Amino acid sequence: MDGNRRKELYRWKRGDKGTGNKAKFDYDNVDHWIKRVEEASEFAVSEVFSLKKQTSRNQRPKAPVLDLESIDQLVDHDDAYTEAQDLLSEWLSNKLKDELASDEEDMDPAALTAQKQPTPEFVKYNRFEDLYTYLEQETESTTTQEFLQQLLQKEVVDSGILDGLRSDCSKDKRRQEDPRLTMELRHQQVKENRAKRQQELENQRKERAARKEALSQAQLLVQEENKRKSLKAKREEEEIQREVVKLRKEMNECKKVMEEARKLEWKRLQNSTKPQDRIQSLSLNEQEQVENRKKMEKQARIKELLGQVYAENRRCLQAHFSIWYKMVVDGRVKMGKARALSDWKRQLRAFRAWRDYAWSSKVERETQKMEVNLRDQNRKQTLAQETYRKRILHRCLVEWQLWSRAEKEKRELEAQKEKTKKKMAALLDAASALGSPKESQNYNCPFPISLQVDRDCITTQECAPSPSVLSKIDPSEPPKAPRHAWQVTREHAALTPEELNQHRAQSANTSHVHPPGGSKKKVPPFGDNFQNRHHFQQQLIEEQRRQLQEQKEMILGLMENQRLIICKQEAMNATALTAQLSKPPPRPMAPHSTGSDITTARSPRYRQQVTVFTSCRDSSPPQSTVSSARRPPGFLANGHPAVRAMEERAAQRAERRKEMEELKRKREQERLAQLRRRKRSVCGKEAAEKEAILERKREERRLQKQERARKD
């Protein structure tokens, strides 16, 4: 932009050549303008291509710099300064408007009214802690102001409502309004308020969306404008650089032309001068030298005055520029602080919202977890109490059942003892009352007395079923006969109702035959009932053990016989196969006859044994091992064709396995070789890259050394 406004600095000004030498400063001299153009081009190149622009602002340039010479240039500088100020103020106002608009959207109306108050001037803080204390005080003050504003905006109960309440209290209680109407009115009012609130929220949301859309469109337009300006400035800089290059080329060409003209003029003068003319030329040269010296002195004085004027102008410009730069820097610092403060406030607001949300979600999760734990704990506690109560009740019930059963059996046993005692006493009384010899007793009694007493005791004490057993027996289903001795229980030894009735009839007959007398009671000859029961149980246990032992021995014998039969059959089959292979039989039906003989040789008893003891075959060795152990040594040499085919297939499988292993090994070797080659290529590439990097670094060092040597 400055280049477009200050084009006169790089413009070649031509004018009419003046005749004769002038005493004043000649502006139409070509040499003077050539020097001016060279200085301007050097200044432009130094301003465009210099790497130390920032550091050279506050320092005085060592090379000759072109200064502001005219009022137009000062006016252009002032215009640029005002334009920069306008751009800066416009950008600041737009930025602040955007931020304030975004803040107004997030804040409440009460906060907006509180913000409308005049804000204090921005305070500079030397420490960051002071800023934080100030912010904390500000937040506290804002919270108090918001609370007071909310209290002020809160609706107070209208006095008319209180009057209505008083009047309602004073009215007659009998005349009451229908509460349904009031409830309907309230519901309708709530619905209307809700609809209004939703409509307001929808309008606010639409306005906010429209505002955001407008802001985004404005930002896009501003960005496009900035891009266009930056492209335009870049284009202007490129044009300036091209113009500078053109000027340099033209200046070099002019220099060459002037040098050639000067050389030709010097040669012509040397060739055309004569000895007489040389004296005149010397005098003329002396006069010209004096005039030139005077001109040089005048020019030196003029240059000194111009230098003073330029220095004064530069000082003035530097002072104004330093003030402007200081103001711009202060504005930037303030803007940075304001931006940092707004960002910090926004982050603090977001962090507080996130913290509240996280805390509420955490509390909700903990409450839910605690509720679940409490429900589970209560459920487990109730379940444990219920199970404990059930266990206690079950235990008490079982103990009560056992106790009642024991008491019942005890009472029954006592009753049976009393009954047997009465029977024995009646029998002895009857025997003593008759007073007949032993033959008459044997004749009247169907069996001996001792056997009868023993049978009565056994049937009444040992074989009498308990009430629990009788209750468990189902009369509709007859009991199954046990197959083994270990399956016999007391239920099988219990008497049937027919046997009990028969025994009662026999005891009644004996009581009628032998009426009770007045003789004394005698002790039973076979001891107490408990001794007979124990003896019977011991005998039963011994019998069961003996039967189990016999069954085990029989099972082992049958297993051994079965194993021997299987081995014999396999040996016979093997011998038949070998005989068939060695000597083919004349008749083809021989194998069928042998098979029929073998099948007929099996007796029904053998079949029954095999069907009964098939479960015991798992404990015997497998048939393959037995057959392999029983085979003759020459069976594998000249075996069956099926066996040979199996061996051939096994050999083929082994060869195929070897081939597969060989292929796997070759593939693994190829993969390893490929990995090695890849690693070598990668190492070679890395080495080449390192070598190229080293070569490039050497070349850069060499170029740097050459540049340093040129500068020196």
SS3 readout for 280-299: HHHHHHHHHHHHHHHHHHHH
Residue environment code for 495-517, b if the CB has 16+ CB neighbours within 10 A, otherwise e: eeeeeeeebeebbeebeeebeeb
Which range, of 33-37, 46-50, 384-388, averages the lowest pLDDT? 46-50
Instruction: Please report which confidence band the pLDDT of residue 657 belongs to, taking 50, 70 and 90 as the band edges.
Output: confident
Q: CB pairs under 8 A, 24+ apart, for 578-582?
A: 578/632, 578/634, 578/635, 581/638, 581/639, 581/640, 582/638
Provide CB contacts within 8 A for 131, sequence distance 6+.
Answer: 125
pTM check: above 0.75: no
Tell me how far CA of residue 53 lies from CA of 281, 314, 579, 594, in angstroms.
52, 17, 117, 121
The alpha helices in 50-107, defined as continuous H runs, are 71-106
pLDDT score recorded for residue 451? 37
Provide CB contacts within 8 A for 492, sequence distance 6+.
Answer: 479, 482
Give me the torsion for CA of 274, 280, 285, 290, rounded to 10°: 170
> Structural domain boundaries of the chain?
70-106, 401-558, 559-584+592-678
Which range, of 36-40, 336-340, 353-357, averages the lowest pLDDT? 36-40
- pLDDT, tens digit, for every residue of 570-589? 778 777 777 776 654 444 44
Distance separating alpha carbons of residues 648 and 76, to the nearest angstrom: 110
> Which one, of 328, 319, 338, 325, lies nearest residue 89 by Cα?
328
Whose tokens are 């020196």? That residue is 712
**Which helix (H) or strand (E) covers residue 569, if one does?**
helix 529-582
Distance separating alpha carbons of residues 119 and 135, to the nearest angstrom: 14
Quick count: other Cβ atoms within 10 Å of Cβ 423?
20
Instruction: Please report which confidence band the pLDDT of residue 627 belongs to, taking 50, 70 and 90 as the band edges.
Output: very low
Instruction: Please report which confidence band the pLDDT of residue 291 belongs to, taking 50, 70 and 90 as the band edges.
Output: confident
Is 331 within 8 Å of 92 (Cβ atoms)? yes
CB hemisphere CA count around 711 (13 angstroms): 6
Is 425 within 8 Å of 515 (Cβ atoms)? no
Q: What is the mean pLDDT of the chain?
A: 69
pLDDT score recorded for residue 364? 92
Handedness of CA 580, 584, 586, 592 (dihedral sign): positive
**Which helix (H) or strand (E) covers residue 466, if one does?**
none
- DSSP classification of residue 515: -
pLDDT score recorded for residue 106? 55
- pLDDT, tens digit, for every residue of 144-189? 777 777 767 766 555 555 555 555 555 555 455 567 777 788 888 8
- pLDDT, tens digit, for every residue of 353-391? 999 999 999 999 999 999 999 999 999 999 999 999 999
Whose tokens are 């011994």? That residue is 542
Q: Is the pLDDT of residue 4 over 70?
A: no
Handedness of CA 338, 344, 348, 350 (dihedral sign): positive
pLDDT score recorded for residue 66? 39
> Which one, of 427, 435, 410, lies nearest residue 524 by Cα?
427
pLDDT score recorded for residue 698? 87
Distance separating alpha carbons of residues 340 and 325, to the nearest angstrom: 22
pLDDT score recorded for residue 608? 43
- DSSP classification of residue 212: H
> Which one, of 409, 490, 424, 492, lies nearest residue 457 by Cα?
424
Q: Which pair of structure tokens corresponds to residue 128?
A: 């960051």
- DSSP classification of residue 640: -
Whose tokens are 């229980």? That residue is 489
Is 255 within 8 Å of 33 (Cβ atoms)? no
Instruction: Please report which confidence band the pLDDT of residue 463 belongs to, taking 50, 70 and 90 as the band edges.
Output: very low
- Burial of residue 37 (number of CB atoms within 10 Å: 0-12, 13-18, 19+): buried
Q: Which position has the higher pLDDT, 537 or 530?
A: 537
pLDDT score recorded for residue 187? 81
Whose tokens are 């990668």? That residue is 682
- Burial of residue 520 (number of CB atoms within 10 Å: 0-12, 13-18, 19+): exposed
Distance separating alpha carbons of residues 8 and 70, to the nearest angstrom: 11
Distance separating alpha carbons of residues 580 and 589, to the nearest angstrom: 12
- pLDDT, tens digit, for every residue of 254-283? 888 888 888 888 877 777 655 556 666 667
Beta strand residue intervals within 553-694, DSSP E: none
Instruction: Please report which confidence band the pLDDT of residue 101 belongs to, taking 50, 70 and 90 as the band edges.
Output: low
> Which one, of 54, 32, 46, 39, lies nearest residue 9 by Cα?
39
Distance separating alpha carbons of residues 544 and 116, to the nearest angstrom: 111
Distance separating alpha carbons of residues 190 and 134, to the nearest angstrom: 44
Provide CB contacts within 8 A for 555, sequence distance 6+.
Answer: 613, 616
- pLDDT, tens digit, for every residue of 206-254? 998 988 888 888 888 888 888 888 888 888 888 888 888 888 888 888 8
Distance separating alpha carbons of residues 489 and 495, to the nearest angstrom: 13
Distance separating alpha carbons of residues 346 and 615, to the nearest angstrom: 85
Highest mean pLDDT among 213-227, 353-367, 416-430, 550-564: 353-367
Instruction: Please report which confidence band the pLDDT of residue 12 belongs to, taking 50, 70 and 90 as the band edges.
Output: very low
pLDDT score recorded for residue 260? 84
Quick count: other Cβ atoms within 10 Å of Cβ 455?
14
Q: Which position has the higher pLDDT, 458 or 689?
A: 689
> Which one, of 373, 592, 443, 420, lies nearest residue 523 by Cα?
420
Question: φ and ψ at 509, to 5 degrees?
Answer: -60, -45
Which range, of 95-104, 355-364, 529-538, 561-570, averages the lowest pLDDT? 95-104
Q: Is the pLDDT of residue 393 over 90?
A: yes
Length of the chain: 712
